[in-house]
Structure 1
Amino acid sequence: MIGWYAHHHGRGHVHRALALAAHLAGAGEQVTVLSSTPRPADAPPGTVAWVELPRDDDGLDGGLDGGLGGRPVGGSGGGSGAGPVDPTAHGHLHWVPRHHDGLRERTAAVSAWIAEHRPRAMVVDVSQEVALLARLHGVPVVSTVLPGDRTDAAHALGLGVSDALVGFWPAGAGLARLPAGVSDRLTEVGALSRFDPHRPAAAARAAGGPRRATLLGGRGGDAWTSDEVERLTAALGDAWELTVLGSGGAWVDDPWTALSGADVVLTHAGQNALAEVASARRPAVVVPAERPHDEQRSTGRALAGGGWPVRVLDRLDHPDWPALLDEVAALDGGAWARWCDGRAGERFGEVLGVVLAGRLTGASAGTARPVPVGAVG
């Protein structure tokens, strides 16, 4: 049994869990996802079990890398209307408010699940507190790492107790700053998309018709305002046909047609969004959103300086949108193959295999021989 903690913020963490858990299950590994997010309707039946955890943030969305649930922007410590009390444990953790019923209940739920199922390993995406909790139960931990500055005390603790670290970006991209002493545990596996990069693209636009642009939003908050979207739409006129997905537009569970059929995609710099743009091999305008630990800004800087088929903007604002999109459309979307080559899942499986071998033999994760757990690309 493999336990998999998936953060509730946005949909990227759950998408990643489902994409990998289904393949691991096909290779004979039982996977249980533990998350505040309810089991999605599109979760493959029979391939992954699901434990819905109580919220520890009073239902308020918080920062991407909170604690057991998320760092809220307000709310009570237990329903009284007062603010959270010492949520960082004197600066050592991200989100552990004192006397919070939800925190106590979800922590107990994770512990009870570990005690009952005795998992061979726990994948944590992302929570330093869950990584620490699992390790305190003697369970080997594989922690995902997000881009940005991860050198704070909570990351030093959570990443420090993890047996292996995984970054879903290309090797050498330099997206994260890590605490001292853990860099040798990091494996950069490349971006992971739900979509096969070799999947046929949508039908091309009719000859002489307007070019297509897709604005890809998400559920975790975007880098633009509704006024900026309105100005973009007006500026494009009849030269470009704009499809707006996510906040402020239509929500579709499968955006492949809108992505692969676009001449240009405009997106924030979240890992899941970029992975899906890359798998579609579409050039992009990237607008990093403000996130804790400089996550998306770090990604934007790496994209701007790495020869990728993008133009990075600070805001969804430009004096000549048609000219900019024409310029971006001329970039080679095939260069995204270095970002998302379809083998991230396979590489992740190799990392997990090393950790499982250490669990079975008593060897350290760094020296254990990998145990095949299936090709998960």
Structure 2
Amino acid sequence: MIGYYVHHHGRGHVTRAGSLLPHLPSGTEVTGLSSLPRPKGWPQLWVQLDPDADADPFDLPEDATAGGTFHWVPRGHSGLRSRMSTISRWIDATRPDVVVVDTSVEVATLCRLHGVPVVSLIQPGDRTDPPHTLGLGLAERLVAPWPADVADVVRGVAPDDPRLVHVGAFSRFDGREPLPTAVAPTEDGTRNVVVLSGAGGSALTTKALDRARASTPGWTWTLLGGPDGTWVDDPWAALCRADVVVTHAGQNALAEVAAARRPAVVIPQERPHDEQRTSAAALAADGRLPVVVLQEFADDGWPDVLDHVAGLDGCAWQRWNDGQGARRLAAVVLEVAGRVGA
């Protein structure tokens, strides 16, 4: 039995979990654990946990971090108590060989306290705080979903840590054949830019997008996600039609753009631990990936930016996502599970 804990924020974590399943041997039992509802198409067991995030994390109740030891353990919170006891009961009933945690210091700690080995997917950014030191320190394996030759993606994990495995980025689109070039422009010569806003929150405003549209008459803009855009469960076709993708720097969004081999404008959003800003800085510093990084959605200059990015070679995303990342993650998980069952 393999457990897979899925963080509730956005859609990236749950999408990543689904990417693993096809690479596990037939008959492998997997249980998803999350406060999110069971995702459409999830073929195995799913334990929906009570939420513990109803309070504003920037308006913390008293001692919500247990003196700085954890990120979120508010005293007397019924949701926290319920979800932790549910996980404990599940562990006792199923005796899992390993739990993949994406991501939660508290869940990783709970599983390890039950004697269950943990494989933790690590996030970019500054992970040097005491909770991350605890949670990452007890993991059997630390999985980095980016390539080893892209530097300075995370702080708080030593590059030579023997538990660290770089599997590369992966997405639900791995295995699909990306188009080598964008489709031809429309009859009037316009080109396509797709904006990925995502479900995790965005600083992009309708006014800013309208200004960008007005300044780029040769481009058609399509907004996917966010409060003002269209949510598409499978954006593959839209990505493949794009000459340029404008995206935030979330790991799943980057992996999907890379799978489609589309050049991108990357605009990091504010996230805890500087997650997206660190990712974007690493992409920019690498210099070999088909991206231009902007610190915010620009008020002007879009014609030049789009023309420049459209000329980048989207196939260079192969370094970031070669289509084998989920397979490598499966190998790590099975290796840890096999040592437990041996």
Say whether the fold is shared (TM-score over 0.5). Answer: yes
Greater RCO, CA 8 A, separation 6+: 2
Identity %: 53
Contact 1:21–1:48 (CA<8 Å) still a contact in 2? no
Q: Which residue of 1 aligns with 2:161?
A: 183
| Map 1:194-273 → 2, pairs under 5 A | 194-196=172-174, 198-201=176-179, 203-236=183-216, 238-247=217-226, 248-273=228-253
Q: Distance in 2 between matches of 1:181 and 1:114?
A: 32
Q: In structure 1, the residue corresponding to 2:193 is in which secondary structure?
A: strand
The answer on 1:13 being equivalent to 2:13 is yes
Query: What is the match of residue 300 of structure 1?
Result: 280
Q: What CA deviation, in whole Å up to 9, does each residue of 1:137-160 have, x standing for no partner? A: 010110010001111100111111
Which ranges in structure 1 are unaligned for 5 or more consecutive residues? 63-71, 75-82, 362-377
User: What's 1:337 paired with?
Assistant: 318
**1:7-86 to 2 correspondences below 5 Å:** 7-24=7-24, 26-41=25-40, 43-44=41-42, 47-58=43-54, 72-74=57-59, 84-86=61-63
Counterpart of 1:372?
Answer: none
2:37 corresponds to which letter in structure 1?
Answer: P
Cα offset for 1:357? 2.7
What is the Cα deviation at residue 7 of structure 1? Answer: 0.2
Partner of 2:264: 284
CA distance in 1 between counterparts of 2:341 and 2:112 reads 16
What residue identity is the alignment partner of 2:171?
Answer: S
Give the TM-score normalised by the residue count of structure 2: 0.94
The counterpart of 2:99, out of the listed 116, 122, 133, is 122
SS in 1 for 2:333: helix
5 Å matches for 1:126-145?
A: 126-145=103-122
Deviations along 1:186-223, one digit per CA (max 9) or x if unpaired, are 11100011103542548544354300000001110124
Q: TM-score, normalised by structure 1?
A: 0.85
Residue pair 1:197, 1:280 contacting (<8 A) in 2 also: no
How many pairs align?
337
- Asked if 2 retains the 8 angstrom alpha-carbon contact of 1:159 and 1:182, the reply is no
Structure 2, unaligned runs of 5 or more: none
Matched, 1:328 2:306: no
The residue aligned with 1:368 is none
Q: 2:270 is matched by which residue type in structure 1? A: E
SS at match of 2:169: coil
Deviations 1:120-179 (A, max 9, x none): 100000001100000000101100100011111001111111100101011121311125
Letter in structure 2 aligned against 1:176:
V
Q: In the alignment, residue 320 of structure 2 is paired with which amino acid?
A: W
Deviation, structure 1 residue 232: 1.5
The answer to whether the 8 A contact 1:4-1:32 is kept is yes
Q: Which moved more, 1:178-187 or 1:324-333?
A: 178-187
Question: 1: distance between equivalents of 2:337 and 2:169?
Answer: 23
2:87 is aligned to 110
